[in-house]
Chains A and B, each alone.
Chain A
Protein backbone atom coordinates (compact mmCIF):
# COMPACT_ATOMS: atom_id res chain seq x y z
CA UNK A 1 0.00 0.00 0.00
CA UNK A 2 1.71 3.17 -1.20
CA UNK A 3 0.16 6.41 -0.05
CA UNK A 4 0.97 9.94 -1.14
CA UNK A 5 -0.16 12.68 1.23
CA UNK A 6 -0.18 16.35 0.35
CA UNK A 7 0.74 18.86 3.00
CA UNK A 8 0.74 22.61 2.77
CA UNK A 9 2.74 25.20 4.66
CA UNK A 10 0.50 28.00 5.89
CA UNK A 11 0.84 30.96 8.17
CA UNK A 12 0.34 30.30 11.87
CA UNK A 13 -3.12 31.45 12.82
CA UNK A 14 -1.66 33.51 15.66
CA UNK A 15 0.91 35.25 13.46
CA UNK A 16 0.02 38.74 12.23
CA UNK A 17 -1.49 38.83 8.74
CA UNK A 18 -0.37 41.49 6.31
CA UNK A 19 -3.14 43.43 4.58
CA UNK A 20 -2.26 41.82 1.23
CA UNK A 21 -0.95 38.46 2.38
CA UNK A 22 -0.49 35.91 -0.40
CA UNK A 23 0.11 32.22 -0.59
CA UNK A 24 2.26 30.59 0.67
CA UNK A 25 3.52 33.48 2.70
CA UNK A 26 7.16 34.10 2.07
CA UNK A 27 7.90 35.05 5.60
CA UNK A 28 11.03 36.39 7.23
CA UNK A 29 10.33 34.49 10.39
CA UNK A 30 10.15 30.70 10.20
CA UNK A 31 8.16 30.69 13.43
CA UNK A 32 5.18 32.13 11.54
CA UNK A 33 4.97 29.13 9.20
CA UNK A 34 3.23 25.91 10.16
CA UNK A 35 1.69 22.76 8.73
CA UNK A 36 -1.84 23.35 7.51
CA UNK A 37 -3.70 21.89 10.49
CA UNK A 38 -6.13 19.82 8.43
CA UNK A 39 -3.24 18.06 6.69
CA UNK A 40 -2.23 16.40 9.94
CA UNK A 41 -5.48 14.44 9.79
CA UNK A 42 -4.48 13.25 6.31
CA UNK A 43 -1.05 12.17 7.59
CA UNK A 44 -2.76 10.37 10.49
CA UNK A 45 -5.05 8.53 8.06
CA UNK A 46 -2.12 7.50 5.84
CA UNK A 47 -0.10 6.20 8.78
CA UNK A 48 -3.05 4.31 10.27
CA UNK A 49 -3.81 2.60 6.95
CA UNK A 50 -0.22 1.49 6.44
CA UNK A 51 0.10 0.35 10.06
CA UNK A 52 -3.09 -1.67 9.81
CA UNK A 53 -2.02 -3.27 6.53
CA UNK A 54 1.39 -4.04 7.93
CA UNK A 55 3.18 -2.95 4.81
CA UNK A 56 3.50 0.08 2.61
CA UNK A 57 5.01 3.50 2.45
CA UNK A 58 3.78 7.02 3.10
CA UNK A 59 5.26 9.82 0.99
CA UNK A 60 4.52 13.42 1.96
CA UNK A 61 4.69 16.16 -0.67
CA UNK A 62 4.61 19.91 -0.21
CA UNK A 63 4.64 22.68 -2.79
CA UNK A 64 6.17 25.67 -1.06
CA UNK A 65 9.06 28.00 -0.41
CA UNK A 66 12.14 27.00 1.61
CA UNK A 67 10.19 28.11 4.68
CA UNK A 68 8.12 24.97 4.14
CA UNK A 69 11.06 22.64 4.88
CA UNK A 70 9.95 22.83 8.48
CA UNK A 71 6.59 21.36 7.47
CA UNK A 72 8.19 18.57 5.44
CA UNK A 73 10.36 17.67 8.43
CA UNK A 74 7.34 17.60 10.71
CA UNK A 75 5.74 15.04 8.38
CA UNK A 76 8.86 12.87 8.75
CA UNK A 77 8.75 13.31 12.52
CA UNK A 78 5.12 12.17 12.55
CA UNK A 79 6.18 8.95 10.81
CA UNK A 80 6.01 9.50 7.03
CA UNK A 81 8.62 7.33 5.36
CA UNK A 82 9.60 9.84 2.72
CA UNK A 83 8.93 13.51 2.16
CA UNK A 84 9.93 16.18 -0.28
CA UNK A 85 9.20 19.72 -1.32
CA UNK A 86 8.48 21.19 -4.72
CA UNK A 87 10.25 24.52 -4.95
CA UNK A 88 7.86 27.48 -5.09
CA UNK A 89 9.84 30.36 -3.66
CA UNK A 90 8.58 33.91 -4.08
CA UNK A 91 5.14 32.31 -4.50
CA UNK A 92 5.73 31.75 -8.18
CA UNK A 93 2.58 29.72 -8.71
CA UNK A 94 -0.37 30.79 -6.62
CA UNK A 95 -3.57 30.07 -8.51
CA UNK A 96 -5.14 26.81 -7.44
CA UNK A 97 -5.72 25.51 -10.93
CA UNK A 98 -1.99 25.53 -11.64
CA UNK A 99 -1.19 24.20 -8.17
CA UNK A 100 -3.46 21.22 -8.89
CA UNK A 101 -1.63 20.59 -12.18
CA UNK A 102 1.74 20.64 -10.43
CA UNK A 103 0.56 18.27 -7.69
CA UNK A 104 -0.89 15.90 -10.31
CA UNK A 105 2.41 15.99 -12.22
CA UNK A 106 4.33 15.17 -9.03
CA UNK A 107 2.08 12.15 -8.46
CA UNK A 108 2.81 10.94 -11.99
CA UNK A 109 6.51 11.32 -11.37
CA UNK A 110 6.30 9.31 -8.13
CA UNK A 111 4.59 6.68 -10.26
CA UNK A 112 3.41 4.00 -7.83
CA UNK A 113 0.50 4.77 -5.56
CA UNK A 114 -2.70 3.22 -4.26
CA UNK A 115 -4.09 6.17 -2.37
CA UNK A 116 -3.60 9.91 -2.60
CA UNK A 117 -4.64 11.88 0.46
CA UNK A 118 -5.34 15.57 0.99
CA UNK A 119 -6.33 17.68 3.96
CA UNK A 120 -9.95 18.80 3.74
CA UNK A 121 -9.03 22.43 3.10
CA UNK A 122 -6.19 24.86 3.47
CA UNK A 123 -6.17 27.58 6.13
CA UNK A 124 -5.14 30.27 3.66
CA UNK A 125 -7.08 29.57 0.43
CA UNK A 126 -9.56 27.13 1.89
CA UNK A 127 -11.35 26.19 -1.32
CA UNK A 128 -11.16 22.39 -0.92
CA UNK A 129 -10.56 22.24 -4.66
CA UNK A 130 -7.31 20.30 -4.67
CA UNK A 131 -8.59 16.75 -4.16
CA UNK A 132 -11.34 16.89 -6.82
CA UNK A 133 -9.17 18.77 -9.34
CA UNK A 134 -6.13 16.55 -8.94
CA UNK A 135 -8.31 13.43 -9.15
CA UNK A 136 -9.72 14.68 -12.45
CA UNK A 137 -6.28 15.46 -13.87
CA UNK A 138 -5.27 11.87 -13.06
CA UNK A 139 -8.64 10.38 -14.05
CA UNK A 140 -9.11 8.75 -10.63
CA UNK A 141 -12.21 8.33 -8.46
CA UNK A 142 -12.45 10.65 -5.49
CA UNK A 143 -14.20 11.40 -2.21
CA UNK A 144 -13.91 14.49 -0.05
CA UNK A 145 -14.44 14.84 3.74
CA UNK A 146 -13.76 11.20 4.52
CA UNK A 147 -14.24 10.21 8.16
CA UNK A 148 -13.79 6.43 7.99
CA UNK A 149 -11.99 4.04 5.66
CA UNK A 150 -11.95 0.28 5.22
CA UNK A 151 -9.89 -1.56 2.65
CA UNK A 152 -11.47 -4.32 0.69
CA UNK A 153 -8.98 -5.88 -1.74
CA UNK A 154 -8.48 -3.51 -4.66
CA UNK A 155 -11.40 -1.41 -3.45
CA UNK A 156 -11.90 0.99 -0.60
CA UNK A 157 -15.02 1.72 1.38
CA UNK A 158 -15.26 5.29 2.61
CA UNK A 159 -17.72 7.08 4.84
CA UNK A 160 -17.84 10.79 4.08
CA UNK A 161 -19.53 13.79 5.63
CA UNK A 162 -22.63 15.19 3.96
CA UNK A 163 -25.00 17.83 5.30
CA UNK A 164 -26.90 16.19 8.14
CA UNK A 165 -25.18 12.82 8.01
CA UNK A 166 -22.81 10.55 6.13
CA UNK A 167 -22.65 8.81 2.78
CA UNK A 168 -20.84 5.52 2.23
CA UNK A 169 -19.37 4.80 -1.18
CA UNK A 170 -17.00 2.23 -2.58
CA UNK A 171 -14.12 3.29 -4.80
CA UNK A 172 -11.78 1.31 -7.01
CA UNK A 173 -8.12 1.92 -6.11
CA UNK A 174 -6.12 3.98 -6.82
CA UNK A 175 -8.27 6.79 -5.47
CA UNK A 176 -7.98 10.35 -4.20
CA UNK A 177 -9.45 11.28 -0.80
CA UNK A 178 -9.63 14.37 1.34
CA UNK A 179 -9.68 13.53 5.04
CA UNK A 180 -12.17 15.14 7.44
CA UNK A 181 -11.14 16.82 10.68
CA UNK A 182 -13.77 14.70 12.40
CA UNK A 183 -14.15 10.91 12.50
CA UNK A 184 -11.48 8.22 12.81
CA UNK A 185 -8.57 10.54 12.07
CA UNK A 186 -9.70 13.36 14.32
CA UNK A 187 -6.66 13.23 16.58
CA UNK A 188 -3.37 13.39 14.72
CA UNK A 189 -0.55 11.78 16.68
CA UNK A 190 1.95 13.84 18.61
CA UNK A 191 5.59 13.49 17.79
CA UNK A 192 8.26 13.10 20.44
CA UNK A 193 11.02 15.64 20.92
CA UNK A 194 13.50 12.94 19.91
CA UNK A 195 11.75 12.37 16.58
CA UNK A 196 11.54 16.09 15.87
CA UNK A 197 15.27 16.46 16.64
CA UNK A 198 16.08 13.56 14.35
CA UNK A 199 13.87 14.84 11.55
CA UNK A 200 15.30 18.34 11.81
CA UNK A 201 18.68 16.95 10.78
CA UNK A 202 17.39 15.33 7.59
CA UNK A 203 17.94 17.10 4.31
CA UNK A 204 14.72 17.79 2.43
CA UNK A 205 14.85 16.72 -1.23
CA UNK A 206 13.66 19.52 -3.49
CA UNK A 207 11.99 19.10 -6.90
CA UNK A 208 11.78 21.81 -9.52
CA UNK A 209 8.41 22.75 -11.01
CA UNK A 210 9.91 23.03 -14.48
CA UNK A 211 11.06 19.40 -14.44
CA UNK A 212 7.61 18.03 -13.63
CA UNK A 213 5.91 18.33 -17.02
CA UNK A 214 2.87 19.91 -15.43
CA UNK A 215 1.75 21.47 -18.71
CA UNK A 216 0.78 25.08 -19.23
CA UNK A 217 0.44 26.88 -15.91
CA UNK A 218 -1.69 29.76 -17.10
CA UNK A 219 -5.07 30.40 -15.60
CA UNK A 220 -8.21 32.10 -16.67
CA UNK A 221 -9.18 33.35 -13.25
CA UNK A 222 -6.88 35.78 -11.48
CA UNK A 223 -6.62 37.26 -8.02
CA UNK A 224 -6.63 40.99 -8.76
CA UNK A 225 -6.47 42.20 -5.18
CA UNK A 226 -6.42 41.04 -1.60
CA UNK A 227 -7.72 43.29 1.15
CA UNK A 228 -8.87 43.38 4.72
CA UNK A 229 -12.60 43.19 5.37
CA UNK A 230 -14.10 46.23 7.09
CA UNK A 231 -12.58 46.22 10.56
CA UNK A 232 -14.66 45.00 13.43
CA UNK A 233 -15.81 47.90 15.55
CA UNK A 234 -14.94 46.45 18.93
CA UNK A 235 -12.43 43.97 20.29
CA UNK A 236 -13.71 41.05 22.33
CA UNK A 237 -14.10 42.06 25.99
CA UNK A 238 -12.50 39.30 28.06
CA UNK A 239 -13.40 38.53 31.67
CA UNK A 240 -10.91 36.24 33.42
CA UNK A 241 -8.71 35.57 36.45
CA UNK A 242 -11.39 36.14 39.05
CA UNK A 243 -14.06 34.24 40.95
CA UNK A 244 -16.82 33.05 38.65
CA UNK A 245 -19.59 35.10 40.33
CA UNK A 246 -17.46 38.22 39.85
CA UNK A 247 -16.81 37.38 36.19
CA UNK A 248 -20.54 37.02 35.61
CA UNK A 249 -21.35 40.27 37.40
CA UNK A 250 -18.80 42.00 35.22
CA UNK A 251 -20.30 40.51 32.07
CA UNK A 252 -23.85 41.43 33.07
CA UNK A 253 -22.93 45.00 33.89
CA UNK A 254 -20.96 45.34 30.63
CA UNK A 255 -24.07 44.15 28.77
CA UNK A 256 -26.23 46.55 30.74
CA UNK A 257 -23.98 49.46 29.78
CA UNK A 258 -24.72 48.60 26.16
CA UNK A 259 -28.44 48.38 26.81
CA UNK A 260 -28.43 44.60 26.39
CA UNK A 261 -30.45 42.32 28.67
CA UNK A 262 -29.80 38.58 28.77
CA UNK A 263 -32.84 38.14 31.01
CA UNK A 264 -35.28 39.58 28.46
CA UNK A 265 -36.36 36.27 26.92
CA UNK A 266 -37.68 34.42 29.96
Chain B
Protein backbone atom coordinates (compact mmCIF):
# COMPACT_ATOMS: atom_id res chain seq x y z
CA UNK B 1 0.00 0.00 0.00
CA UNK B 2 1.18 3.50 -0.83
CA UNK B 3 2.67 5.64 1.93
CA UNK B 4 1.74 9.31 1.70
CA UNK B 5 3.92 11.56 3.82
CA UNK B 6 3.75 15.34 4.16
CA UNK B 7 6.74 17.25 5.51
CA UNK B 8 5.16 19.75 7.90
CA UNK B 9 7.02 23.02 7.91
CA UNK B 10 6.98 25.24 10.96
CA UNK B 11 7.75 28.95 11.01
CA UNK B 12 7.26 31.41 13.86
CA UNK B 13 5.86 28.59 15.98
CA UNK B 14 3.09 27.73 13.53
CA UNK B 15 2.38 25.29 10.73
CA UNK B 16 2.95 27.34 7.57
CA UNK B 17 0.11 28.27 5.22
CA UNK B 18 1.83 26.62 2.28
CA UNK B 19 1.98 23.34 4.25
CA UNK B 20 -1.78 23.61 4.75
CA UNK B 21 -2.20 24.12 0.99
CA UNK B 22 -0.11 21.01 0.45
CA UNK B 23 -2.35 19.14 2.91
CA UNK B 24 -5.37 20.00 0.76
CA UNK B 25 -3.70 18.35 -2.24
CA UNK B 26 -2.62 15.42 -0.05
CA UNK B 27 -6.16 14.92 1.26
CA UNK B 28 -7.67 14.44 -2.20
CA UNK B 29 -4.81 12.16 -3.17
CA UNK B 30 -5.18 10.09 0.00
CA UNK B 31 -8.86 9.56 -0.77
CA UNK B 32 -8.12 8.50 -4.34
CA UNK B 33 -5.36 6.15 -3.18
CA UNK B 34 -7.39 4.90 -0.25
CA UNK B 35 -4.58 5.55 2.24
CA UNK B 36 -4.00 7.73 5.31
CA UNK B 37 -1.96 10.91 5.33
CA UNK B 38 1.09 10.73 7.55
CA UNK B 39 3.33 13.61 8.47
CA UNK B 40 6.82 14.38 9.64
CA UNK B 41 7.70 17.42 11.71
CA UNK B 42 11.21 18.52 12.69
CA UNK B 43 12.03 21.12 15.32
CA UNK B 44 12.39 21.70 19.02
CA UNK B 45 9.59 21.86 21.59
CA UNK B 46 6.98 20.98 18.99
CA UNK B 47 4.77 18.49 20.79
CA UNK B 48 1.71 20.75 20.89
CA UNK B 49 2.17 21.59 17.23
CA UNK B 50 2.37 17.90 16.38
CA UNK B 51 -0.85 17.14 18.25
CA UNK B 52 -2.46 20.13 16.55
CA UNK B 53 -1.35 18.87 13.12
CA UNK B 54 -3.36 15.65 13.57
CA UNK B 55 -6.51 17.80 13.51
CA UNK B 56 -5.84 18.44 9.82
CA UNK B 57 -6.55 14.79 9.17
CA UNK B 58 -2.99 13.48 9.55
CA UNK B 59 -3.24 10.01 11.05
CA UNK B 60 0.31 9.65 12.21
CA UNK B 61 3.00 12.23 12.88
CA UNK B 62 6.67 11.34 13.08
CA UNK B 63 8.01 13.99 15.42
CA UNK B 64 11.70 14.81 15.47
CA UNK B 65 11.99 16.96 18.58
CA UNK B 66 15.56 17.87 19.43
CA UNK B 67 17.56 20.92 20.49
CA UNK B 68 19.80 20.48 17.46
CA UNK B 69 16.73 21.19 15.33
CA UNK B 70 15.91 24.52 16.99
CA UNK B 71 17.36 26.28 13.94
CA UNK B 72 17.01 24.80 10.48
CA UNK B 73 20.04 22.93 9.17
CA UNK B 74 19.39 21.45 5.73
CA UNK B 75 21.98 18.70 6.11
CA UNK B 76 20.48 17.58 9.45
CA UNK B 77 17.00 17.65 7.98
CA UNK B 78 18.03 15.69 4.87
CA UNK B 79 19.80 13.00 6.88
CA UNK B 80 16.97 12.51 9.34
CA UNK B 81 14.31 12.49 6.63
CA UNK B 82 16.45 10.02 4.67
CA UNK B 83 16.47 7.64 7.66
CA UNK B 84 12.73 7.94 8.01
CA UNK B 85 11.98 7.44 4.31
CA UNK B 86 14.39 4.47 4.17
CA UNK B 87 11.98 2.58 6.43
CA UNK B 88 9.30 2.67 3.75
CA UNK B 89 9.45 0.75 0.54
CA UNK B 90 8.02 2.07 -2.70
CA UNK B 91 5.36 3.12 -3.45
CA UNK B 92 5.89 6.18 -1.26
CA UNK B 93 4.98 9.80 -1.93
CA UNK B 94 6.82 12.50 0.03
CA UNK B 95 5.30 15.96 -0.31
CA UNK B 96 6.02 19.44 0.98
CA UNK B 97 4.95 22.97 0.13
CA UNK B 98 7.22 24.67 -2.42
CA UNK B 99 8.33 27.21 0.18
CA UNK B 100 11.99 28.26 0.19
CA UNK B 101 12.57 25.38 2.66
CA UNK B 102 10.58 22.85 0.60
CA UNK B 103 12.39 23.83 -2.58
CA UNK B 104 15.73 23.18 -0.89
CA UNK B 105 15.02 20.01 1.04
CA UNK B 106 12.87 18.00 -1.40
CA UNK B 107 15.22 18.08 -4.44
CA UNK B 108 18.14 17.22 -2.16
CA UNK B 109 16.21 14.30 -0.67
CA UNK B 110 14.97 13.12 -4.08
CA UNK B 111 18.53 13.09 -5.37
CA UNK B 112 19.62 11.05 -2.35
CA UNK B 113 17.06 8.39 -3.31
CA UNK B 114 17.93 8.78 -6.97
CA UNK B 115 14.28 9.55 -7.61
CA UNK B 116 13.05 12.30 -9.83
CA UNK B 117 10.63 14.87 -8.49
CA UNK B 118 7.46 16.74 -9.27
CA UNK B 119 9.07 20.11 -8.63
CA UNK B 120 6.79 23.08 -8.00
CA UNK B 121 3.51 21.64 -9.24
CA UNK B 122 0.16 23.36 -8.76
CA UNK B 123 -1.66 20.04 -8.45
CA UNK B 124 -1.01 16.33 -8.10
CA UNK B 125 -3.68 13.79 -8.95
CA UNK B 126 -4.04 10.11 -9.66
CA UNK B 127 -4.76 9.13 -13.27
CA UNK B 128 -4.84 5.37 -13.66
CA UNK B 129 -1.42 4.05 -12.68
CA UNK B 130 0.18 7.46 -12.87
CA UNK B 131 0.58 10.51 -10.73
CA UNK B 132 0.06 13.64 -12.78
CA UNK B 133 1.08 17.18 -11.84
CA UNK B 134 1.04 20.57 -13.55
CA UNK B 135 4.21 22.64 -13.49
CA UNK B 136 4.08 26.23 -14.82
CA UNK B 137 6.86 27.09 -17.27
CA UNK B 138 8.16 30.48 -18.48
CA UNK B 139 6.80 32.29 -15.43
CA UNK B 140 3.36 30.77 -15.93
CA UNK B 141 3.05 31.56 -19.63
CA UNK B 142 2.92 27.81 -20.38
CA UNK B 143 1.83 24.79 -18.38
CA UNK B 144 3.77 21.53 -18.42
CA UNK B 145 2.05 18.28 -17.51
CA UNK B 146 4.31 15.87 -15.62
CA UNK B 147 3.57 12.22 -15.20
CA UNK B 148 5.15 9.36 -13.27
CA UNK B 149 4.43 5.79 -12.24
CA UNK B 150 2.60 5.87 -8.91
CA UNK B 151 4.30 2.67 -7.79
CA UNK B 152 7.77 4.14 -7.29
CA UNK B 153 9.19 6.70 -4.88
CA UNK B 154 7.81 10.11 -5.77
CA UNK B 155 8.94 13.42 -4.28
CA UNK B 156 6.71 16.46 -4.67
CA UNK B 157 6.64 20.20 -3.92
CA UNK B 158 3.29 22.01 -4.19
CA UNK B 159 3.42 25.65 -5.35
CA UNK B 160 1.76 28.15 -3.05
CA UNK B 161 -1.30 30.19 -3.98
CA UNK B 162 -3.07 27.50 -6.03
CA UNK B 163 -5.01 25.50 -3.44
CA UNK B 164 -7.05 26.50 -0.39
CA UNK B 165 -5.46 25.91 3.00
CA UNK B 166 -6.69 22.80 4.81
CA UNK B 167 -8.95 23.65 7.75
CA UNK B 168 -8.62 22.35 11.23
CA UNK B 169 -11.26 19.84 12.40
CA UNK B 170 -11.35 19.55 16.20
CA UNK B 171 -13.06 16.17 16.00
CA UNK B 172 -10.04 14.58 14.30
CA UNK B 173 -7.06 13.07 16.06
CA UNK B 174 -4.05 10.94 15.30
CA UNK B 175 -0.97 9.33 16.72
CA UNK B 176 2.27 11.23 17.44
CA UNK B 177 5.44 9.10 17.54
CA UNK B 178 8.93 10.23 18.28
CA UNK B 179 11.53 9.71 15.63
CA UNK B 180 15.14 10.03 16.74
CA UNK B 181 17.27 12.55 14.85
CA UNK B 182 20.14 11.22 12.78
CA UNK B 183 23.12 13.47 12.20
CA UNK B 184 26.43 12.33 10.78
CA UNK B 185 29.81 13.98 11.23
CA UNK B 186 29.67 15.16 7.59
CA UNK B 187 26.41 16.99 8.27
CA UNK B 188 28.30 19.30 10.61
CA UNK B 189 29.69 21.01 7.54
CA UNK B 190 26.63 23.24 7.96
CA UNK B 191 26.14 25.34 11.10
CA UNK B 192 23.07 27.39 11.91
CA UNK B 193 24.10 30.88 13.03
CA UNK B 194 21.00 33.05 13.33
CA UNK B 195 17.67 33.97 11.88
CA UNK B 196 16.16 37.44 11.55
CA UNK B 197 12.42 37.47 11.05
CA UNK B 198 10.24 40.58 10.94
CA UNK B 199 7.29 40.92 13.27
CA UNK B 200 3.90 41.12 11.63
CA UNK B 201 1.21 43.39 13.05
CA UNK B 202 -0.80 44.58 10.04
CA UNK B 203 -2.86 42.19 7.92
CA UNK B 204 -3.33 43.51 4.38
CA UNK B 205 -4.98 40.36 3.04
CA UNK B 206 -8.53 41.51 3.88
CA UNK B 207 -8.26 44.90 2.14
CA UNK B 208 -10.51 45.51 -0.88
CA UNK B 209 -8.11 48.00 -2.38
CA UNK B 210 -4.31 47.95 -2.26
CA UNK B 211 -1.93 50.69 -3.37
CA UNK B 212 1.46 49.06 -3.63
CA UNK B 213 4.80 50.81 -4.03
CA UNK B 214 8.11 49.46 -5.28
CA UNK B 215 11.65 50.60 -5.90
CA UNK B 216 10.33 53.10 -8.43
CA UNK B 217 8.91 55.16 -5.55
CA UNK B 218 12.49 56.27 -4.94
CA UNK B 219 12.91 56.71 -1.17
CA UNK B 220 11.46 56.46 2.30
CA UNK B 221 10.05 60.00 2.40
CA UNK B 222 8.75 59.64 -1.10
CA UNK B 223 6.84 56.55 0.00
CA UNK B 224 4.53 59.00 1.81
CA UNK B 225 2.54 59.43 -1.40
CA UNK B 226 1.65 55.72 -1.33
CA UNK B 227 0.34 56.05 2.24
CA UNK B 228 -1.53 59.22 1.36
CA UNK B 229 -3.18 57.66 -1.67
CA UNK B 230 -4.15 54.57 0.30
CA UNK B 231 -5.67 56.77 2.99
CA UNK B 232 -7.60 58.92 0.54
CA UNK B 233 -8.98 55.96 -1.39
CA UNK B 234 -9.70 53.89 1.70
CA UNK B 235 -7.22 51.15 0.91
CA UNK B 236 -4.19 49.47 2.43
CA UNK B 237 -0.51 49.95 1.56
CA UNK B 238 1.27 47.13 -0.22
CA UNK B 239 4.91 46.85 -1.30
CA UNK B 240 7.45 44.94 -3.32
CA UNK B 241 10.30 43.23 -1.56
CA UNK B 242 12.69 45.84 -2.95
CA UNK B 243 10.81 48.57 -1.07
CA UNK B 244 10.78 46.45 2.11
CA UNK B 245 14.48 45.61 1.78
CA UNK B 246 15.29 49.30 1.42
CA UNK B 247 13.44 49.88 4.69
CA UNK B 248 10.91 52.25 3.16
CA UNK B 249 7.99 50.22 4.51
CA UNK B 250 7.66 47.36 7.03
CA UNK B 251 7.56 43.70 6.00
CA UNK B 252 3.84 43.36 6.89
CA UNK B 253 3.11 45.08 3.60
CA UNK B 254 5.19 42.81 1.36
CA UNK B 255 3.29 41.04 -1.41
CA UNK B 256 4.54 37.90 -3.15
CA UNK B 257 6.38 34.64 -2.68
CA UNK B 258 7.96 35.71 0.61
CA UNK B 259 5.13 38.04 1.59
CA UNK B 260 1.35 38.00 1.42
CA UNK B 261 -0.98 36.63 -1.23
CA UNK B 262 -3.76 39.09 -1.91
CA UNK B 263 -6.92 39.12 -4.07
CA UNK B 264 -8.45 42.58 -3.57
CA UNK B 265 -11.01 44.22 -5.88
CA UNK B 266 -8.33 46.72 -6.93
CA UNK B 267 -4.55 46.42 -6.89
CA UNK B 268 -2.64 49.51 -8.01
CA UNK B 269 1.08 48.76 -8.44
CA UNK B 270 3.24 51.88 -8.53
CA UNK B 271 6.89 51.67 -9.54
CA UNK B 272 6.84 47.87 -9.35
CA UNK B 273 8.35 46.02 -12.30
CA UNK B 274 6.44 42.77 -11.76
CA UNK B 275 9.08 40.15 -10.97
CA UNK B 276 7.51 36.68 -10.87
CA UNK B 277 8.12 36.54 -7.10
CA UNK B 278 5.83 39.57 -6.76
CA UNK B 279 3.26 38.51 -9.37
CA UNK B 280 2.47 35.20 -7.66
CA UNK B 281 1.17 37.21 -4.70
CA UNK B 282 -1.21 39.57 -6.54
CA UNK B 283 -2.00 38.27 -10.02
CA UNK B 284 -5.47 37.06 -8.91
CA UNK B 285 -6.56 40.55 -7.87
CA UNK B 286 -9.81 41.42 -9.63
CA UNK B 287 -8.67 44.64 -11.32
CA UNK B 288 -4.95 45.34 -11.67
CA UNK B 289 -3.70 48.82 -12.50
CA UNK B 290 -0.02 49.49 -13.18
CA UNK B 291 1.61 52.90 -12.83
CA UNK B 292 5.05 52.66 -14.37
CA UNK B 293 7.38 54.73 -16.52
CA UNK B 294 8.33 51.61 -18.46
CA UNK B 295 5.78 50.16 -20.86
CA UNK B 296 7.87 46.96 -21.14
CA UNK B 297 7.59 46.14 -17.43
CA UNK B 298 6.35 42.55 -16.88
CA UNK B 299 3.64 43.96 -14.59
CA UNK B 300 1.79 44.88 -17.80
CA UNK B 301 1.50 41.17 -18.66
CA UNK B 302 -0.96 40.75 -15.79
CA UNK B 303 -2.37 44.29 -15.53
CA UNK B 304 -5.81 45.23 -16.90
CA UNK B 305 -4.95 48.93 -17.10
CA UNK B 306 -1.67 50.80 -17.13
CA UNK B 307 -0.68 54.44 -16.93
CA UNK B 308 2.76 55.03 -18.39
CA UNK B 309 3.99 58.03 -16.39
CA UNK B 310 5.85 59.07 -13.25
CA UNK B 311 3.94 57.82 -10.21
CA UNK B 312 4.78 61.03 -8.35
CA UNK B 313 2.77 62.95 -10.94
CA UNK B 314 0.00 60.37 -11.27
CA UNK B 315 -0.89 59.74 -7.61
CA UNK B 316 -1.34 63.38 -6.45
CA UNK B 317 -3.54 63.94 -9.50
CA UNK B 318 -5.53 60.77 -8.79
CA UNK B 319 -6.12 61.93 -5.21
CA UNK B 320 -7.43 65.24 -6.54
CA UNK B 321 -9.86 63.54 -8.89
CA UNK B 322 -11.37 61.15 -6.38
Contact = CB atoms under 8 A, between A and B. Distances in A.
Contacts of B120: 126-128
Interface stretch (A52-60, A108-116, A243-251): A243-251
Given A220-B148, A226-B145, A266-B233, A166 B195 contact: yes
A204 to B, nearest CB: 26
B235 interface: yes
Interface residues of A, number: 77
B189 A141 contact: yes
Contacts of B145: 223-227
Interface string A202-233: 00000000000000000111111111110000
Contacts of B241: 182
Interface residues of B, number: 93
A137 B111 contact: yes
Contacts of B259: 164
B74 to A, nearest CB: 7
Contact of B296 (A14, A239, A247, A255): A14
B173 to A, nearest CB: 29
A223 B103 contact: no
Nearest to A104: B111
B92 to A, nearest CB: 13
A13 to B, nearest CB: 7
B100 interface: yes
A88 interface: no
B245 interface: yes
Interface string A9-44: 001011001011100000000000000000000000
30 contacts: A13-B298, A14-B296, A19-B142, A126-B136, A126-B138, A128-B107, A132-B103, A132-B108, A136-B78, A136-B108, A139-B186, A142-B74, A143-B74, A144-B103, A162-B195, A164-B258, A168-B193, A172-B189, A221-B116, A226-B144, A229-B142, A229-B143, A240-B306, A241-B308, A245-B321, A248-B317, A265-B208, A266-B232, A266-B233, A266-B234
